[in-house]
Amino acid sequence: MSRDALEFSQSDRGFLEPHLPPQAVSAPASDLPFTTLTFATSLDSSLALSPGARTVLSGPQSKAMTHYLRSRHDGILIGVGTAVADDPGLNCRIAGVGGYGQEGLSGQPRPVVIDPTGRWEFSEDSKLFQLCREGRGLAPWIITAVENPSSQKQALLDKYGGRFMTSKMLRTHTGGHQVDWRTLFETLKSNGLESVMVEGGGQIINSLLSPQYMPLLDSVIVTIAPTWLGQGGVVVSPARRFDEGGNAMSAARLKNVKWYPFGEDVVLCGQVIVADAQKA
């Protein structure tokens, strides 16, 4: 068994099962993948000390939980801010998956990176491609608005079995890009991803927690670490909502909530409450 493989107990798996994509029973036909929003946060709702900083929040048990979640999803989606800040591996290191005690790549999720302008300068040295070489992870699919991405990057993706997927994106009033999440998730499903976990970062999560897109989320699993990162961090805080009378209301709330302690952290599982008017 690989020395860096992580263990996650059967009893802990049992707790999480109701919040995960269905395993054996065939789910009703849908154009959408089962989508889980999952991230680790501080007590002041920060994901990281600053946008460019890789910040460890999860303790060993909840880190193993995140890797178990990775084994239970076909895809793992992040924004380019996270790719640039973290040089992430985005593979699954649970004992018994491909590359960690088993031949092949079974149980390894497909990394999906949202990079509208092609600013992720990845290379052979990026952790993700190192893992591909070691037979411990899949190459990424990069969702971009760039019509002709760099041929050097294209060649690297071709070499490891990744790809660019060009998607039309709207521009926001601040000059940013806005992917149509429904179309994107449908595309991921039609390319074979039956389930997707979204890991962050802040901009991606805040976007998905807008009224238009939150109906796309099937499950929410949040690790809360007993620490305050302080002001200036990358914060999960979706845009404020107002009712018909113009009064401020909460942006989103969970139902069917369960809390599980994992070491010093607590893991919150639930489903976003969606009003009838939000259902497409």
Q: Using the rule CB under 6 A, which residue among 20, 37, 69, 78 binds ligand NAD?
A: 78
Q: Least distance in Å: CB of 81 to ligand NAD?
A: 2
In degrees and rounded to multiples of 5, residue 278 shows phi and psi of -85, -20
For residue 43, the tally of other CB atoms under 10 A from its CB is: 11
Q: Least distance in Å: CB of 199 to ligand NAD?
A: 5
Do 184 and 143 touch, CB atoms closer than 8 A? yes
Q: Using the rule CB under 6 A, which residue among 36, 55, 71, 108 binds ligand HJL?
A: 55
Which residue, 78 or 208, is less far from ligand HJL as judged by CB? Answer: 78
Q: Is residue 219 a contact point for ligand HJL (CB under 6 A)? A: no
Q: Is residue 40 a contact point for ligand HJL (CB under 6 A)? A: yes
Which residue, 56 or 186, is less far from ligand HJL as judged by CB? Answer: 56
| Amino acid at position 260, single letter | Y
Q: Is residue 66 a contact point for ligand HJL (CB under 6 A)? A: yes
Q: Is residue 211 a contact point for ligand NAD (CB under 6 A)? A: no
Q: How far apart are CA 32 and CA 50, in angstroms?
A: 33
Q: How far apart are CA 200 and CA 38, in angstroms?
A: 8
| Burial (0-12, 13-18, 19+ Cβ within 10 Å), 191 | middle
Q: Which does 273 bind (CB under 5 to 8 A by kind): ligand HJL, ligand NAD, none?
A: none
Q: Is residue 200 a contact point for ligand NAD (CB under 6 A)? A: yes
Rg (alpha carbons) of the chain, rounded to whole number: 18
Residues 6+ apart with CB under 8 A from 43: 224, 225, 226, 227, 228
Q: How far apart are CA 143 and CA 111, in angstroms?
A: 11
Write out the residues near ligand NAD by the rule CB under 6 A: 39-40, 47-48, 51, 53-55, 57, 78-82, 85-86, 114, 116, 169, 177-179, 199-204, 207, 234
Write out the residues near ligand HJL by the rule CB under 6 A: 40, 55-58, 66, 78, 82, 86, 88-90, 199-200, 223
